[in-house]
Amino acid sequence: MLFTSISFLYYFLPVVIIAYFAVPKKAKNFVLLIASIIFYFYGEPRYIFLMLAEILVAYVGARLIDKYKSKSLLICIISIHIGLLCIFKYTDFLIENVNNIFGTNVSLLNIALPIGISFYTFQILSYVIDVYKGNVQVQKNFFSLATYVSLFPQLIAGPIVRYKTIESELSNRKHSFENCSYGIQRFTIGLAKKVLIANMLGELCTYFTSAGEKSVAFYWIFAISYALQVYFDFSAYSDMAIGLGRIFGFHFLENFNYPYMSKSITEFWRRWHISLSSWFKDYVYIPLGGNRKGLKIQIRNILIVWLLTGIWHGASWNFVIWGLLFGVVLILEKMFLKKYLEKLPNCIQRIYVLFIVMISFIIFNADNMKTAFTNIAGLFWSNGVPFINSYTIYYLKSYFVILVIAIIGATPIPKNIVLMVKDNRNLNKVINIIEPIFIIVLLIIVTAYLVDNSYNPFLYFRF
């Protein structure tokens, strides 16, 4: 079930909210658990039992780990969850490569990828590892752990919510009008970002892919549009997840912090998909030794982390290369590049980041590396196409406004303007009146768009 579907917005969500606030405190987690199971069953009925089985393994495993403090048991539980993830996500990728290398003809299994398995697997892993380390108390209530893992606001596409972030809120969270108001506002803004910006940019990228006549300018428009689409698509989902969580009393951590304002790739990954990058840092990079054992070990650790980051995103060589590209750039920055970048004007530093990220997302988006290289070469007039043509001018005119809105929206400018207005006591009173009206109007516009438009994918659902 999509957050951006009429069935979710006007049937599922209102019923869940009413039921949630109608029952006593002790039953609220049960309502969320049942709602989350229905939510997942609606989109992935075959694999609901897989998720519940993994939760059961994590529950029993964590109880045993807490009792016996056994590292071998921890490794066993981790292996089960990673093994299941690999079976469903990477089996066919492995078979394809074995066939290509050895000339064999092993049939692909064509296993369907369970939605959200990469996200809920990492949440389970963080829980059992933190129990072993003593960072969290083991959860003795199975239904509470199941609620944490399956919580529908962040189940499908993150952010990756660690157990320790909401440990206390699972049993004791506060509900207030302010929380609900903030949650509705945050959810609606995320909904608008997805439907009115990300989807429109997605349409432009689709037109580029299918266009018979391309140009250098069109290659650049595509590259910029796709980078913006990925940001608005995924940050919008995070906004909606954070907003829904707040309605139900949970405080999920921020997942994006204006990453396109970064002045280095190192900074970019502190601002982009924060829950994933911090997960790999805490559960892979630091346990491997981090930067504590010399430069060679640090370089090895960075490459391992970014190889795994690429593979986590998908079973394809373009994801592997995408991850390793960032790994190599991060190593270069740590070795010498960052100190030279810091001497350059801020605008040049940001252009450097945007260019690297734009190229990386061309690789990220491509079905294969041949397509990626073609699209990258097209940026530099290497495909024998004109600089601009009538098709490019047509699509640029058609999507110029949305591109400008997206570029401005990817910066803190809109947020800073709102905060500046709110700092003025007189204007703040006006804002308090206008804000709820604006949210209602925005919801009406989004609804009209959803009724009239069928293009509505979430990019991170495939991970």
Q: Packing angle between helix 216-247 and helix 390-409, nearest 10 degrees?
A: 30
DSSP class of 70: -
Nearest to 28 by CA among 172, 166, 240: 172
Residue 202 region, left (φ>0) first, then alpha (ψ -120 to 50), else beta? Answer: alpha
Instruction: Indicate the SS3 state at residue 251.
Output: coil
8 A C-beta contact, residue 287 and residue 304? no
Instruction: Tokens 């600089």: give the residue.
Output: 387
Q: Provide the CA 295 distance to its chain's centre, in angstroms.
A: 31
Instruction: Indicate the SS3 state at residue 173.
Output: coil
Residues 6+ apart with CB under 8 A from 339: none
How far is it, in rounded angstroms, from Cα 463 to Cα 455? 19
How far is it, in rounded angstroms, from Cα 446 to Cα 191? 8
The total of other beta-carbon atoms located within 10 Å of residue 83's CB is 10
> Is 313 among the catalytic positions?
yes
- Phi, psi for 168 (deg, rounded to 5): -70, -30
User: Which string of b and e fits 410-424 if b means at least 16 CB within 10 Å?
Assistant: beeeeeeeeeeeeee
How far is it, in rounded angstroms, from Cα 31 to Cα 299? 47
8 A C-beta contact, residue 349 and residue 264? yes
8 A C-beta contact, residue 225 and residue 205? yes
Which residue of the set 81, 175, 251, 313 is catalytic?
313
Residue 186 region, left (φ>0) first, then alpha (ψ -120 to 50), else beta? Answer: alpha
User: Which string of b and e fits 187-204 if b means at least 16 CB within 10 Å?
Assistant: bbbbbbbbbbbbbbbbbb
Nearest to 221 by CA among 388, 370, 364, 412: 388
Active-site positions read 313
